Amino acid sequence: MLSVVAARTERLVIGPMITPVPRRRPWVLARQTVTLDLLAGGRTVFGVGLGSPAHGDFGLFGDPADDRTRAEMLDEGLDLIAGLWTGEVTEFHGRHYNVGPVRFTPTPAHGRIPVWVGGVLPSLAGMRRAARWDGAVPIRYRDGALARPSADDIASVRDLVRDRRGSIDDFDLVVWAEVADDPASLAKELPAYEEAGTTWWIETARPPEPDWYDQLLHRIRSGPTGDRQA
């Protein structure tokens, strides 16, 4: 699906949110992401995370379901993928993956595809992992459903990333939000998110509600929510 989007657009930044790296073979992901990035002319972002639900998506199929093991696989997988993206001879020997020596070509359009790491708050493990890469997507759940993180949440992640990296330059802080019933009503909330350091605002329709597709079309047609849209 993303390949079709890449082929039929010229300016949109595209990517999965999120790809559960522990559920995939990292070398296959490396090939797939480079192919997508070349089709898109370098407009790809690689969103990653542990994946959920742990039992439903992993345990039922005999894959490791505990968070610690999947976190190790995510870290190793990202390091391996980044090595393969370089186009240089890569050899990797970890607890979960043993690869190489091998060299992958072609390489991404612009050297390395930006990696955004998702993590569910209030745990900060995912945000500490994100600080090693290019962006953080803090996730909140409320009553079992995705809920928008607050501007204070974003500011806290910003401070954590700055402490670990020394700077938040060239680092993305991403708000994953619902599609608002009244898009114009968001305008008054955006300045607080902008002040907190938000660089991207992603809106997601809420399937399986019957009107989710019409809701999404209405949001797109409404356009920007004011001058401060992230």
Domain locations along the chain: 1-113, 116-225
The 10 Å CB-count burial string (b at 16+, else e) for 23-52 is bbebbebbebbbbbbebbeebbbbbbbbbb
Q: pLDDT at residue 145 above 80?
A: no
Q: Tell me the C-alpha distance between 191 and 184, whole Å.
A: 14
228 pLDDT band, cuts 50/70/90, is: very low
122 pLDDT band, cuts 50/70/90, is: very high
pLDDT, residue 180, reads 76
Instruction: Average the pLDDT over 97-104 and give the result.
Output: 94
Render pLDDT for 36-73 as a digit per residue (tens, 0 to 9). Answer: 999 999 999 999 999 888 888 888 888 888 889 999 99
The model carries a pTM of 0.90
Chain-wide mean pLDDT for the chain?
90
Measured in whole angstroms, the distance separating CA 155 from the mean position of its chain's CA atoms is 18
Render pLDDT for 174-227 as a digit per residue (tens, 0 to 9). Answer: 999 887 777 788 888 899 999 999 999 998 876 667 888 887 788 888 776 644
Q: What percent of the chain has pLDDT over 70?
A: 96
Q: Cβ atoms within 10 A of the Cβ of 195, count?
A: 12
pLDDT, residue 181, reads 74
pLDDT, residue 131, reads 97
